[in-house]
Amino acid sequence: MSRLLLLSGLILLGTGCAGSHANSRAGEPAYSLGQPAGEPLLVQGSYVTGPASSLVITEDSMRGRFRNQPVSLKWTWQEVTGAVASQGTRLELAEGDDTRIWGSFGGMAVDLTLDRDWLYGSVGGCGYVLQRGEDGFVGRRSCGGPLEDDLRLAFPAPLMERPLGEKASLMTLMLVNFTSTYSPTVSLANFTRPRTDAAARGGCGLIP
């Protein structure tokens, strides 16, 4: 009898814990990430979800699926390593007067600089010059074709407060997701890189 009561108590305790976890997730604010082009992504607590994406964030990692491709990332304050869509990923991180993120993410070259007011650089074959606002970034993009003006990407201020490795991973994921031609089978040779001769004047040749 005592064993039966103990087992019943443990089952109820486990059910209560699971219910509390579900309620805490449902009660946390949800933030849009990027924009619907590519796939609409939502960040809620430790989860990133979309129609074909389901990622779980821990203190030092992100795992799950992004656009139906496997993701396994781990970070320190110096780097992000792992794989995205079975492609090796290694981003180096540096934080000082500004934040630098550079390397490879799912087979795409990454070179980004984030400071108090701007995010600029390149992901894959696309160059960005974006100004920070309360809800994200507004600016321009060039992918070797016509210049895209008035580009708006959601990255709310609370996501800026997350640890460097997590923030770098979310920011890069946002830009990779917005590259509508992204595919693990697409070669970088198919992209036309933006001009770099004007990088010192604002980055990626987007500012005349």
Q: What is the DSSP string of 88-111?
A: EEEEEEEESSSEEEEEEETTEEEE
Whether the Cβ atoms of residue 30 and residue 149 lie closer than 8 Å to each other: no
- Read off φ and ψ for residue 178, nearest 5 degrees: -75, -15
DSSP 10: H
pLDDT value at residue 22: 35
* Number of C-beta neighbours around residue 115 at 10 A: 12
Query: What is the rounded distance in angstroms from the CA atom of residue 45 to the CA atom of residue 59?
Result: 12
pLDDT tens sequence across 18-54: 333 333 355 789 999 998 777 899 999 999 999 999 9
**Token pair in block for residue 107:** 């087979």
pLDDT tens sequence across 161-194: 999 999 999 999 999 987 654 444 333 333 333 3
DSSP 86: T
